[in-house]
């Protein structure tokens, strides 16, 4: 007799699947305000909803400071601008 080795999805996985089906792509692929990744992964479309650092998050007691969040945003913006420049340079024929 063979036993099914598949595990049931976790609550976090189910919430992510629900977000993927119900959220607009722009919201799902946007960045979490806390800087922990994509909003679709953690639910962080707003600061209080993030599963990691939100009001009832798993790491709510160790949130990044506002200065750290600002620095993360600056770093993300630098990366985004560099990627945009690289993309534009590929389009320009020499």
> Does 94 or 20 have the greater pLDDT score?
20
Residues 23 and 43 in one domain: yes
Backbone angles phi and psi of 31, in degrees to 5: -90, 145
Backbone angles phi and psi of 38, in degrees to 5: -75, 140
What is d(CA 63, CA 69) in angstroms, rounded to the nearest whole number?
9
Domain holding 15, by residue range, is 10-63
What is d(CA 69, CA 24) in angstroms, rounded to the nearest whole number?
24
Contacts by 72-80 with C-beta closer than 8 Å and gap 24+?
Answer: 72/35, 73/35, 76/31, 76/35
Residues 74 and 59 in one domain: no
For the question of whether the overall pTM of this predicted structure is more than 0.85, the answer is no
Has residue 3 been placed in a domain?
A: no
Using one digit for the tens of pLDDT, what is the confidence trace for 13-47?
999 999 999 999 999 999 999 988 899 999 999 99
Using one digit for the tens of pLDDT, what is the confidence trace for 84-93?
999 998 887 6
Give pLDDT, residue 90: 87
């Amino acid at each position: 007799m063979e036993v099914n080795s598949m595990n049931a999805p976790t609550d976090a996985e189910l919430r992510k699947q629900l977000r993927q089906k119900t959220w607009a792509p722009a919201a799902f692929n946007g960045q979490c305000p806390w800087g922990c990744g994509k909003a679709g992964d953690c639910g962080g479309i707003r600061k209080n909803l993030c599963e990691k650092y939100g009001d009832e998050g798993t790491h709510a007691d160790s949130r990044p400071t506002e200065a750290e969040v600002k620095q993360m945003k600056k770093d993300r913006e630098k990366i985004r601008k560099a990627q945009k420049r690289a993309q534009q340079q590929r389009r320009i024929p020499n």
